[in-house]
Amino acid sequence: MGTRSRAIVIRPADLAWVNVAAHLRRLTEYGDLLRTLSVHRINVRYRQTLLGIGWAVLQPLLMMAIFAVVFSRLARIPSEGAPYALFAYVALLPWTFFATSVTNATGSLVNNTQLLTKVYFPREILPLTYVVAALFDFTIGLGALGGLMAWFRVPLTAAALYLIPLIALLALWAFAVSLLLSAVQVRWRDIGVALPMLVQIWMFISPVIYPLDVVPANWRPLYLLNPVAGIINAFRDVLLRGQSPQMVPLIYAFAVTAIALPVAYVVFKQTEATMADIV
């Protein structure tokens, strides 16, 4: 017998913020499941593929090559003095992480109906594992970035250490969006249908192809409500220029995430109560 740690009381769902602490405590008890499922995502994704983990590097590299030809050669988009290929890759790396996380996590609940209707575990683990799996790809892609920077002779400075809090912030933001979209997807499958388009649009309203500077100053506050914008801009600051990131865009990114994540979590947990009935 396991140790009888505590009694569980199951009551009708209610929108109580005080429950968040209890939910989080519960989540930590399922740390093993989170780990096993995340490793599973990574394992399964590239199984029976020829290139295997190579895809994690190839995806952003191919995008970079296409962007370099189309946007630099043909459209002559400025790249703030850096080689455009590198300029694009530095943004594509966090962007691919974000887009992959959100795309996979949104379907994570409806694609696992089998589990949802049969077994209980904190449901946020499902979207979260996709974010963790994407984080793994990101780390691989980071290795390729090192190679590219050496090739273009861009020096790596201590400012690169900023990447750690930056990616953490981006992961939290990706998690918030994933929670919200996956929960809504359970009820309205429209999200899944609209998602590829949404991700496209999202890329265009983020400074992936172009620098943040080209956004008119009076549009800036609105533009920066998208945390991805501030974070990508900071990636360029710390990697291409080797300097501390511009703070204002990051404060926007942090503030929006700090508000969105708890809201998304409560909405998600609210949906969880009846998820198995409507999925």
Partner 1 sequence: MIDVAFDRVSKRYRVRQSAASGGGLHDFWAVRDVSFDVARGEAFGLVGHNGAGKSTILKMLSQITTPTQGEIRLAGRVAALIEVGSGFHPELTGRENVYLSGSILGMRRREIQAKFDRIVEFSGVGQFIDTPVKWYSSGMYVRLGFAVAAHLDPDILLVDEVLAVGDAAFQVQCIERLNELRRAGMTMLFISHDLLSIERLCDRVAIVEKGRLVAHGSPHEIVAAYQQMTATSHVAAMADANAPSPDAAARVEGVTFHDENASEVLTANTGEPLVARVHYMVQRAVRDAVVEVFYYSRDGRVLHCQQSTAVAGGELTLLPGRGAVEFSMPGLGLQPGVYAIGATIRERSASETIDWWYGRTALCVEPGRAVRGYFYTPHDWRLVVEHGQGGSSLQRS
Nearest distance, CB of residue 153 and partner 1, angstroms: 42
Q: How many residues bind partner 1 (CB under 8 A)?
A: 34
Select 8 or 158, whichever has its Cβ closest to partner 1.
Answer: 8
12 binds partner 1 (CB under 8 A): yes
Nearest distance, CB of residue 128 and partner 1, angstroms: 14
22 half-sphere exposure, CB direction, 13 A CA radius: 10
Torsion angle in degrees (nearest 10) through CA of 56, 144, 34, 235 = -120
* Candidate residues 20, 44, 62, 193; the one interacting with partner 1 per rule CB under 8 A: 44
4 binds partner 1 (CB under 8 A): yes
15 binds partner 1 (CB under 8 A): no
Nearest distance, CB of residue 13 and partner 1, angstroms: 5
Select 115 or 144, whichever has its Cβ closest to partner 1.
Answer: 115
* Candidate residues 113, 117, 200, 243; the one interacting with partner 1 per rule CB under 8 A: 117
Select 209 or 275, whichever has its Cβ closest to partner 1.
Answer: 275
149 binds partner 1 (CB under 8 A): no
Torsion angle in degrees (nearest 10) through CA of 149, 152, 155, 160 = -30
* Candidate residues 28, 48, 197, 218; the one interacting with partner 1 per rule CB under 8 A: 48
Residue 113 carries which side chain, given as an amino acid letter?
T
Select 49 or 243, whichever has its Cβ closest to partner 1.
Answer: 49
Whether 132 contacts 175, CB under 8 Å:
no
Whether 30 contacts 125, CB under 8 Å:
yes
Measured CA angle at 98 (ends 215, 146), to 5 deg: 85
18 binds partner 1 (CB under 8 A): no
Query: Rounded to an integer, what is the distance from CA 201 to the centroid of its chain?
Result: 16
CA distances from 220 to 65, 78, 88, 198, 214 (A): 29, 18, 21, 21, 10
Q: Assign 267 to helix, strand or coil.
A: helix
Q: List the interface residues with partner 1, window 96-115 (CB under 8 A).
A: 114-115
Cβ within 8 Å of residue 154, ≥6 positions away:
82, 83, 86, 239, 240
156 binds partner 1 (CB under 8 A): no
Nearest distance, CB of residue 46 and partner 1, angstroms: 10
139 binds partner 1 (CB under 8 A): no
Q: List the interface residues with partner 1, window 167-226 (CB under 8 A).
A: none
Select 51 or 150, whichever has its Cβ closest to partner 1.
Answer: 51
Whether 244 contacts 237, CB under 8 Å:
yes
